Chain A
Amino acid sequence: MTSPPSAAAARPESPRALFVAFTGLALQGFGGVLAVVQRELVERRRWLTNEEFIEDWAVAQVMPGPNVVNLALMIGDRHFGLRGAAAALAGMLAVPTLLLLALAALYAGFADHPAMAGALRGMGAVAAGLIGGMALKLAAALRQHPLGWPIAGALAILTALAVGGLRVPLPWVMLALGGAACGLTWRRLAP
């Protein structure tokens, strides 16, 4: 389990580097960490390629547990085994938890201030834009998909419509669209 990922240009040098990287990631993620993860791990640190990120993210998503936490575990485990997984997990949770509990103790005094509500709305709008831009970037990686980009793109759009538009519960989407996508890919990978 200590083999580095294949095509990426770099790898973390120690469990401590994993801890620091994931603490930094978690502290940048307001309203969730997803948008920051791709940028930091793929574009800045180059520990993963975009294709590897999508595959790992898919696995992190179907396993129970918070997705970003699962992703941290997988990346830590791949580089340094159990120690790496523990370091990445601790990085993701330790400092943010302390910060949040401190905020909770302070929050009571400012809960009703209108500027507070406005600031939350503004940050929400930024997060929506960032994640939208990231979806476009990841879509570019589908051009190399074994199903060909028209089918892969259609599956992506159907998923977005089902989950974002029709609010279909995720397990059903995973079973129906995910099952179809895996089945088609399995046939296409035939030796």
Chain B
Amino acid sequence: MTPLALEWTGWLQLFGYYLGLSLLSVGGAISTAPDMHRILVSEHGWISDPQFAASIALAQAAPGPNVLFIALLGWNVGLNAAAGAGAGSGATWGWALAGAAVCMLGIMLPSTTLTLLATRWAHRNRQRRAVRAFRLGLAPIVVGLVAATAWVLGRAHGVAASDWPLWLLSGACGLLVWRPRLHLLWLLGAGAALGAAGWG
């Protein structure tokens, strides 16, 4: 924890930053992480470098959408501000929750509003040739992006010669996904157990 004196103008600034970032977050929240590092760590020192890195790693490992790492960043800002204000242990959690709420509301409000308005318009005009071309035309791009995601995740395995168990695990899962009755949590659990046993 790094104690931090955060005035209400600072909270407002944090909220405003996430409101603006929300509209730029095309392609998912993770793609805006470098900019958050620039603002939260380098420019304002609201959180420390290790706090930033741990927030992202933890959110990736936990279930839920990736965007939740922003809640963790806010949580850490709240913790730092509580330490700076000399808050007691009960009040500290309140500060942390407030930090998480400020950041999540900021990142979610503008994009959800825009998405609702735009998809409603598109749905009303779904017979228009331009709208149909837009939706159908992007289908191959989406398939390519999903393949690219698997590729990027798989690249973390390292070289096939020494890390072949991980490649084998990925390959097996790519085939097992064709059996719809098998619950995905079994696969994730097996992967975690194999990895924890040092097999990966």
Contacts and interface: CB of A to CB of B under 8 A. Distances in A.
Interface of A: 1, 26-36, 39, 43-44, 51, 54-55, 57-70, 73-74, 77-78, 82, 85, 89, 92-93, 96-97, 99-101, 103-104, 107, 111, 114-116, 118-139, 141-142, 145-147, 151-153, 155-165, 170-171, 173-174, 177-178, 181-186, 189-191
Contacts of B188: 28, 30, 123, 126-127
B63 A129 contact: no
B65 A131 contact: no
A48 to B, nearest CB: 13
Contact of B151 (A57, A97, A160): A160
A185 B137 contact: yes
B58 A139 contact: no
A144 to B, nearest CB: 10
A181 B137 contact: yes
B120 A77 contact: yes
Question: Which A-B residue pairs are the 4 nearest by beta carbons?
Answer: A122-B195, A159-B144, A96-B64, A65-B111
Chain B interface size, as a band, is: 35 or more
B71 A97 contact: yes
Interface string B83-123: 00000000000001100100010001011101110111011
B129 to A, nearest CB: 5
B144 A155 contact: yes
A112 to B, nearest CB: 12
A118 B195 contact: yes
A185 B58 CA distance: 41
Contacts of A136: 174
Contacts of B178: 133, 137
The residue in A51, A159, A162 that gathers the most chain B C-beta atoms within 10 A of its C-beta is A159
A129 B77 CA distance: 36
Given A122-B195, A186-B129, 10 more contacts: A32-B66, A39-B184, A96-B64, A97-B104, A104-B55, A126-B170, A130-B174, A137-B177, A151-B140, A182-B134
Interface residues of A: mostly helix, strand, loop or mixed?
helix
B115 A125 contact: no
B12 interface: no
A169 to B, nearest CB: 8
B24 A186 contact: no
A59 to B, nearest CB: 6
Interface string B164-194: 0011011111111110100011011011111
| Most chain B beta-carbon neighbours within 10 Å: one of A145, A155, A181 | A181
B140 A156 contact: yes
A125 B166 contact: yes
A131 B149 contact: yes
A127 B65 CA distance: 14
B141 A66 contact: no
B137 A160 contact: no
A30 B22 contact: no
Given A30-B63, A160-B144, A160-B145, A100 B71 contact: yes
Contact of B184 (A31, A35, A158): A35
Nearest to A114: B198
Contact of B140 (A132, A134, A153): A153
